[in-house]
Homo-oligomer: A and B are copies of this chain.
Amino acid sequence: MAARRLILSQFLPYRLSITMQAVSEGLATRYSHEFGITVPEWRVISALGEHQEMTARDIAAHARMNKTMVSRAVATLLERNIILRRENSGDRREAFLRLARRGDDIYAAIVPMALDYERKLLRDLPKAEIAALDRALTVLLHRADEEALAINDKINGDAE
């Protein structure tokens, strides 16, 4: 049976949440201050930096963003000439996006900063512990996705 008490400071979802918030803010402060880029915009840029050319849909899948967020980040980045858009003539619903020269520069500037930040965060952790963290995050994400499906089924009719 389940315990009656919960220590917030030891509760995994809480710890994940505050840790990610601190980590994310620390990084976002840097690139937002220097380039005026928001977190969703950075995700789009890094997706395009990694894969050259993608549709908005691809970006959403790759960076785990919903399509509204992608749409808005893309609109801003286009306006600021950070990315380019090329309509797919074979299917005019979608468009291929890629970094413009300006986007390349920003990407090239942010990547080292981001990796440096990551290095600083992990500095004091032994290799083995970093590897354990990696595995743990993978498992947690996978389990959480599964549980999300399960609970949604339960809440909706389940039968389909």
Interface residues of A (CB under 8 A from B): 1-9, 11-27, 29-30, 33, 43, 46-47, 49-50, 62-64, 108, 111-118, 120-125, 128-130, 132-133, 135-137, 139-141, 143-145, 147-148, 151-152, 155
Contacts and interface: CB of A to CB of B under 8 A. Distances in A.
Contacts of A12: 23, 118, 121-122
A117 to B, nearest CB: 7
A24 B17 contact: yes
Nearest to A116: B2
Nearest to A5: B111
Given A3-B111, A132-B132, A145 B22 contact: yes
B6 A115 contact: yes
Contacts of A5: 49-50, 111
A140 B6 contact: no
A147 B122 CA distance: 12
A30 B153 CA distance: 12
Contacts of A64: 18, 21
Contact of A46 (B2, B6, B33, B144): B6
A121 B140 contact: yes
A24 B19 contact: no
Contacts of A47: 8
